Amino acid sequence: MNHFSLLVIFLIIFHISQAPALAYDEEIIILRFKYKVHIINGFTSNENPLITHCKSKDNDLGEHVLWMNNEFMFKFRKNIFGTTCFWCDMRHGSAQKTIDVFRVGHESNKCHGTGNCFWSVREDGFYFSDNNQSWIKMYDWV
Ligand SMILES: *[C@@H]1O[C@H](CO)[C@@H](O)[C@H](O)[C@H]1NC(C)=O
């Protein structure tokens, strides 16, 4: 391949990564690069805050203290190699757990359709939603 074809390929990839998700129909979206992850304190009391600390291989998003119903949100662009992974350390009182909140190709990446990954952290575990309305329990605390 010469330099010109490399440049053309680069420009095509760059263009795709700038474009909004392409929808064939309401269900199937083949390309999505921009995502938002929302971590929500879904506890029913304010006795302890939820302390969350999210990271990826290249980013440390710092520690965030969330009281009832508060959320911490971060945005990112999925890399074109499909290796993006973010995980968060969660602490509440003496309970602690680290969960993957976004991982390409993994079960937990069900937010492909809406580009939003919601995690509601509750007394009985970690609930996932892609629309902030219908929740599925994914993990227990222990
Ligand atoms: C999610 O739903 C809650 C409760 O209805 C609402 O307060 C919050 O603003 C919503 N968050 C987003 C990002 O839509």
Per-residue pLDDT of the chain (142 residues; tens, 9 = 90+): 677 777 777 666 666 555 555 444 344 445 778 899 999 999 999 999 999 999 999 999 999 999 999 999 999 988 877 788 999 999 999 999 999 999 887 765 688 889 999 999 999 999 999 999 999 999 999 9
Q: Which residues contact 105 (CB under 8 A, 6 or more apart)?
A: 82
* 1 alpha carbon – ligand 1 mean position (Å): 50
**Dist. CA 33–CA 105, nearest whole Å:** 14
Question: Is residue 132 in contact with ligand 1, taking CB distance under 6 Å?
Answer: yes
* 69 alpha carbon – ligand 1 mean position (Å): 9
- The closest alpha carbon to 87, from 134, 37, 43, 121, belongs to 37
**Domains in the chain, please, with CATH?**
35-139 (2.60.40.10)
Q: Which residue of 132, 133, 135 sits with most ligand 1 atoms within 8 Å of its CB, as the best mutation to test the pocket?
A: 132
Q: What's the pTM value of the predicted model, to 2 decimals?
A: 0.78
| Distinct helix (H) and strand (E) counts, the chain | 1, 11
Would you put residue 115 in left (φ > 0), alpha (ψ -120 to 50) or beta? left
